[in-house]
Amino acid sequence: MKKLINEPQAVVSEALLGLEAAHPDLRVDHANKIIYRGDAPKSGKVGLVSGGGSGHEPLHGGFVGFGMLDAACAGEIFTSPVPDQMAAATSLVDGGAGVLHIVKNYTGDVMNFEMAAELAAAESGVQVRSVVTDDDVAVRDSTWTAGRRGVGVTVLLEKIAGAAAEEGRPLDEVERIARTVNANGRSMGVALTSCTVPSAGSPTFDLPQDMMELGVGIHGEPGRERVPLAPARDIARMLLDPVIEDLPLRAGDPVIAFVNGLGGTPLIELYVLYNEVAKILAAQRISVARSLVGPYITSLDMAGASVTLLKVDDELLGLWDAPVSTPGLRWGR
């Protein structure tokens, strides 16, 4: 294992120290591993709290700031944070207008956030709502299973719901917008290599030189199938087809197209992939209203990418375009 770290068990707490040092607008509660806005709580503003296992940076801590999250809870690498962290974050950002929890759909995250909401409500009476993202079409959904995983849509949702909260919209509204985003977004990813969890010290899975894992999860969970390595134009189709079909998207629909790097893939490759994605969308007359290309929800050092499409209307686009100022996403301010 070759990593720029000290002791594997210290990675999360040391990265939080680095994040705090690099971004003077943010505060870090190191005991609880919470990253929060220096101006929190903002009176009368709905608080947005997310969190999850670490290793997906900039998600979530890098999305704390004006126009996006108020606080993020960092778990150990790939391990959900615990309710105490989430409850503390909830109190920290409670400005009297309620708090929205943004939770990626993994059993651990969902249950821990549930307990946190119960705890926070019991302790301080703050009104807590939760939105669970489950956009990964690689996993077949059913009420009998854990359901689809939350992946790329989480980034877009945190931005859009964050803008709504920043505008001063009430909890009901912010929650409705968040649910709309999740309902209209789908994703699928591919891994060319495994990630390596620092404490494990070796790759999570073995992938032969000529194979790739289609539909991989952001913790290195297996996908739909293992298929031979393919050119970017074929990969784009393998990722997009199920996304377009699942939503479904039709000619004329406007989307935000998001090509995401999984941590070990350089930007030049993401642009090659984006070119293929744009060509497929153009051929189907799906219109790209906005785009995002870069590593925003990663899986440590995994080489690979995911594609997310979010069907948008004018309201969502307006919120997407609104100013945001976080370490990971910034414009208009």
Partner 1 sequence: MGDEISARALADWLREFARRIHEHRDELTRLDSAIGDADHGTNMDRGLTAVVAAIDALGPATAGQLLKKTGMTLVSTVGGASGPLYGTFFLRLATALGDVDVVTTAQLAAAFRAGLEGVVARGKAQAGDKTMVDALSPAVDALEAAAAGGATTHDALQAARAAGERGRDATTPMQARKGRASYLGERSVGHQDPGATSVELLLSAAVDTLG
Ligand X SMILES: Nc1ncnc2c1ncn2[C@@H]1O[C@H](COP(=O)(O)OP(=O)(O)O)[C@@H](O)[C@H]1O
Distance, CA of 123 to CA of 233 (rounded, Å)? 53
Residue closer to partner 1 by CB (options 94, 213) is: 213
- For residue 330, with 0-12 CB atoms within 10 Å meaning exposed, 13-18 middle and 19 or more buried, which class applies? middle
Q: What binding mask, one character per residue, do residues 154-193 give for its own copies by CB under 8 A, x or -?
A: --------------------------------------xx
Q: Are strands 128-133 and 99-104 parallel, antiparallel or unpaired?
A: parallel
Spatial contact of 19 and 28, defined as CB atoms under 8 Å apart: yes
Residue closer to partner 1 by CB (options 20, 114) is: 114
Q: List residues binding partner 1 (CB under 8 A).
A: 75-76, 78-84, 106-108, 111-112, 114-115, 139-140, 144-146, 149, 197, 199-200, 204, 217, 219-222
Q: How far is CA 327 from the centre of its chain?
A: 14
122 contributes a contact to its own copies by CB under 8 A: no
Using DSSP, state whether 81 is helix, strand or coil. coil
Using DSSP, state whether 83 is helix, strand or coil. helix
79 contributes a contact to Mg ion by CB under 5 A: yes
Catalytic-residue membership of 56: yes
Catalytic-residue membership of 30: no
Pick what 204 binds: partner 1, Mg ion, ligand X, none; C-beta below 5 to 8 Å, kind-dependent: partner 1
Q: What binding mask, one character per residue, do residues 51-90 give for its own copies by CB under 8 A, x or -?
A: ---xx-xx---x----------------------------
287 contributes a contact to ligand X by CB under 6 A: no
Pick what 82 binds: Mg ion, partner 1, ligand X, none; C-beta below 5 to 8 Å, kind-dependent: partner 1
Which amino acid makes up residue 226? R
Binding to ligand X (CB under 6 A): which residues in 97-116? 107-108
The encoded tokens of residue 304 equal: 């690979």
152 contributes a contact to its own copies by CB under 8 A: no
What is the secondary structure of 183-246 as a DSSP string?
HTEEEEEEESS--B-TTT-SBSS---TTEEEET--TTS---SEEEE---HHHHHHHHHHHHHHH
Give the number of other CB atoms < 10 A from CB of residue 170.
14
Residues annotated as catalytic are 56, 219
**Would you tell me which residues interact with its own copies (CB under 8 A)?**
2-7, 11-12, 14-19, 21-23, 54-55, 57-58, 62, 192-193, 209, 212, 229, 231-233, 235, 263-276, 278, 288, 291, 293, 295, 298, 300-301, 303-305, 325, 327, 330-333
